[in-house]
Amino acid sequence: MEIELLVVPEWVITVNSENQVMQHYAVAVDDSRILDILPIEEAEKCYRPRKTVVLPQHALLPGFINAHTHAAMSLLKGLADDLPLMDWLQNHIWPAEARWADAEFVHDGTQLAIAEMIRSGTTCFNDMYFFPEATAQAVDEAGIRASIGLIVIDFPTAWGSGPDEYLKKGLELHDQLESKPLLTTMLAPHAPYTVSDEPLQKLLHLACELDIPIHMHVHETAFEVQQAQEQHGTRPLQRLQNLSLPDKHFLAVHMTQLTDGEIDQLAKKGTHVIHCPESNLKLASGFCPVAKLAAAGVNVALGTDGNASNNDLDMLGEMRTAALLGKAVANDASALNASEVLRMATINGAKALGLEKITGSLEIGKAADMIAVDLSVLETRPLYDPVSHLVYCANRNQVSHVWVAGKPLLAERKLTTLDESALLAKAATWQAKIGENA
């Protein structure tokens, strides 16, 4: 049988429900999907691929799903480091955005972010930023998979005058993207402290009508919780629960301040938690109790947050940090083992985005969203367990190949859909403009 692609790695790490790791197996791809996963000898007899990629010392695994980003903020990377969240936002980031954030800024910043994500093994990301139509354009040009956040915030920005205009523009974009197979949408109210009750009620109605999720920063810092209690007499999560928001279609980002009772409620409602460990550490925001959430049955996925508060979009690094931090917070070396953390970076993210039937694991019938990681280098030898090495040893420079829906986006470390030289030139132009006025 003639097929489009056959990939022949040393290991196939499926991240399926049994966490199967297969050695000396091949993955057959045709019409953008995984057609078969079978021993190499059988694959050679059954299929006539138009292209064969042999990777004798690599692990092939599902591409990473970065479940929370602000991609365009790549252009603000390193602009205001070593500051607490509210100082960083109010005195540095928001003023910079007010001056520079327009459609060109968002398109160029998103392109730069996508290139970084592809080169570190991300095949799908969930974004939240202004001018989402520019984000969608950059995604479409690059061929990556993404969920585009339809942002809502109480105050005016360059993208809109207030909640009603944000929602109107967001709905128009939602309709425009329905024909794009790699693009989905999600309502994205910024945070409880920037979105009031009336817009949130409208959002909930629209989410139900359109059957799309809601993505929101919640309980990011102790200050946020304290301020909400002083202003509203209740914790932010309770306020959202009073509005019937957190459910199986709700993605709560950060969640560093949680009580045991709140964790139980999240589990009962089926709410997803997006853990951004490196951003939380850098901004000293607090520690998400990931082991407790997982033990309660809450789906926890991983995100990098924006490049301005991390300062990278490296999911391999994020996995390692999540594993080590999770053990320290739980005071348990067995908490968050390598397989659990790999699931957080792949299939758990797919579940949070409502894409688990399409991507997030290597299984027959799913989209061929795959990455290859070279484990032959000195830093990952000797090798006893490839999953452990992916989480604790490997780095993003070992990602050699990336495919989305069977299409190569990275081959032998070279970007295939984006022009690296052009991206570097754009980055230099923005650096000169922003840096001169910083």
For 239-297, what is each residue's pLDDT tens digit?
999 999 999 999 999 999 999 999 999 999 999 999 999 999 999 999 999 999 999 99
Strand ranges of the sheet holding 122-127, from the earlier edge strand across to the other edge = 64-69, 122-127, 145-152, 183-189, 214-218, 250-254, 272-275, 300-302
CATH 2.30.40.10 is held by the domain 2-62+366-405 = yes
Residue 325 CB contacts under 8 Å (≥ 6 apart), including other chains? 277, 281, 287, 290
Residues 75-107: tens digit of each pLDDT:
999 988 998 888 988 898 889 998 999 999 999
Q: Nearest to residue 304, comparing CAs of 153, 108, 113?
A: 113
pLDDT confidence tier of residue 167, bands split at 50, 70 and 90: very high
Expressed in angstroms, the distance from the first to the final Cα of the chain is 60
Do 125 and 163 meet the contact criterion of CB atoms below 8 Å apart? no
pLDDT value at position 151? Answer: 96
- Asked whether the predicted pLDDT for residue 132 surpasses 90, the reply is yes
CA dist 326 → 293, 320, 321, 351 (Å): 11, 10, 8, 21
**What's the pTM value of the predicted model, to 2 decimals?**
0.97
pLDDT value at position 86? Answer: 84
> Rounded CA gap, 398 and 394, in Å?
7
> Rounded CA gap, 93 and 98, in Å?
9
Q: Tell me the two tokens of residue 392.
A: 């604790």
Q: Tokens 């057959």, residue?
A: 28
pLDDT confidence tier of residue 374, bands split at 50, 70 and 90: very high
The CATH code of domain 64-352 reads 3.20.20.140
Over residues 153-162, the mean pLDDT reads: 94
> Rounded CA gap, 364 and 410, in Å?
22
Domain residue spans of the chain = 2-62+366-405, 64-352
CA dist 194 → 58, 156, 309 (Å): 45, 11, 19
Q: Nearest to residue 62, comparing CAs of 352, 346, 411, 392?
A: 346
Q: Tell me the two tokens of residue 210.
A: 């359109």
